[in-house]
Amino acid sequence: MKFIPKALAALLCSSALLLSAASQAAEEINRHNFKIAFVQAKDHPHGLGAQKFAEIIKEKSGGKMKVMVFASGTLGGDAQVISSVQGGTVDMTLVTPGLLSGIEKGFALYGLPFLFQNSAEVDAVLDGPAGQNLLTTLEPHGLIGLGYWDHGFRHITNSKHPVQKLEDIKGLKLRLQQIPTAIESFKALGANVVPLSFTELYTAMETRTVDGQENPLAAIETSKFYEVQKYLSLTGHFYDPLVAIFSKRTWDKLNETERELVRSASLEAQAYERKVSRDMDVSSREALAKHGMQINEVAPEEIERMREQVRPTVEKLVAEYGPALMDEMNAEIAKVRNAQ
């Protein structure tokens, strides 16, 4: 028998253990079929991000784990799908934070008007301690917070007239998300608020049940709201992140290797979706103009008037939903502003 130096023997032994561990890890991946459902269209950034997530899951699992994508509210509106995720009949969804405020009230703070000025401030809060700690509060409610994707800054559309000043909002019958911060903020601005599910919105505008709505540009384009809305006013009043949530019932059936695979796939899809969403914010504006929408900027002094108009409402909402958390979020925003 040939003599094998101790160092080489140790290296061979270590390599064998690593190969064994890698093999064992690969064997731990079992076959799973996941359902991800959301209300936006499949060609919306949410849909593109979900499809990217599905691709990454399939690739990382060697085809053992697959994701079926259900877009455009085919499995129900946001509230219904959140309940389905808690029950385990849907495995994952993508929702705006305000829809989770009934579960954990701190999520409502993301929906405060004129909180963020740009994406750098947004990412500092979402990826910092405040945002990440909020995700952990979902687990006792049957949900696993995987991270934050992008929805974008929201703007007003309507069929009546351009919104160029604060007074132009007064009396407009606007559909709002069924979220307290959004409803209270627009009531303070003088709008006639109509809470509706997103899946009911197009028909409500088509039949003039409502005059208009507010959403990010990509949602306005991909949902073809330009067919039933003439005016688009770039108010940027709310910023919406998108919370990627997974069913705890499904999560509990996965082993650690599978859970890590889902988490890493979500983070990769998150980075992809944020870029797609922010790029599409630019291209959607151009597309909406080509579709005939009349688009107007809103003067900074008018934005400031709107901000002052809702200030008492914001102070009340902060006191209700979490002053300490708001302080954390403001501290992160201040760091970004001071660095600019």
In the predicted structure, residue 10 carries a pLDDT above the cut 60: no
In the predicted structure, residue 2 carries a pLDDT above the cut 50: no
Number of folded domains in the chain? 1
- What integer pLDDT is reported at residue 178 of this predicted model? 87
Q: Match 């890890």 to its residue by tokens.
A: 25
Find the Cα–Cα–Cα–Cα dihedral 140, 142, 145, 149, rounded to 10°. -140
Q: What is the pLDDT of residues 240-297, one digit of tens each?
A: 899 999 999 999 999 999 999 999 999 999 999 999 999 999 999 999 999 999 999 9
Say if 228 falls within a structural domain: yes
Q: Which domain holds residue 330?
A: 30-339
Phi, psi angles (nearest 5°) of residue 116: -105, 150
- What integer pLDDT is reported at residue 41 of this predicted model? 87
Q: Average per-residue pLDDT in the chain?
A: 92
Length of the chain: 340
Say if 19 falls within a structural domain: no
Mean pLDDT of 199-226: 96
**Residue 65 C-alpha from the chain's centroid:** 24
CATH number at residue 39: 3.40.190.170
- What integer pLDDT is reported at residue 205 of this predicted model? 98
Residue 176: its H or E element? strand 173-176
Say if 274 falls within a structural domain: yes
Q: What is the pLDDT of residues 77-110, one digit of tens each?
A: 999 999 999 999 999 999 999 899 999 999 999 9
Mean pLDDT of 139-159: 97
In the predicted structure, residue 212 carries a pLDDT above the cut 60: yes
Say if 17 falls within a structural domain: no
Q: Give the C-alpha separation, 310 to 189, whole Å.
A: 7
Say if 4 falls within a structural domain: no
Say if 185 falls within a structural domain: yes
In the predicted structure, residue 17 carries a pLDDT above the cut 50: no
Say if 10 falls within a structural domain: no
Q: Please state which of the ranges 172-176, 179-183, 291-295 shows the lowest mean pLDDT.
A: 179-183
Whether 120 contacts 239, CB under 8 Å: no
DSSP assignments along 260-303, one per residue: HHHHHHHHHHHHHHHHHHHHHHHHHHHHHHHTT-EEEE--HHHH
* Percentage with pLDDT > 70 across the chain: 92
In the predicted structure, residue 51 carries a pLDDT above the cut 80: yes
In the predicted structure, residue 4 carries a pLDDT above the cut 90: no
Residue 189: which residues within 8 A CB-CB, separation 6 or more? 166, 169, 170, 306, 309, 310
Classify strands 143-153 and 239-247 as parallel, antiparallel or unpaired.
antiparallel
Q: What is the pLDDT of residues 290-318, one digit of tens each?
A: 999 999 999 999 999 999 999 999 999 99
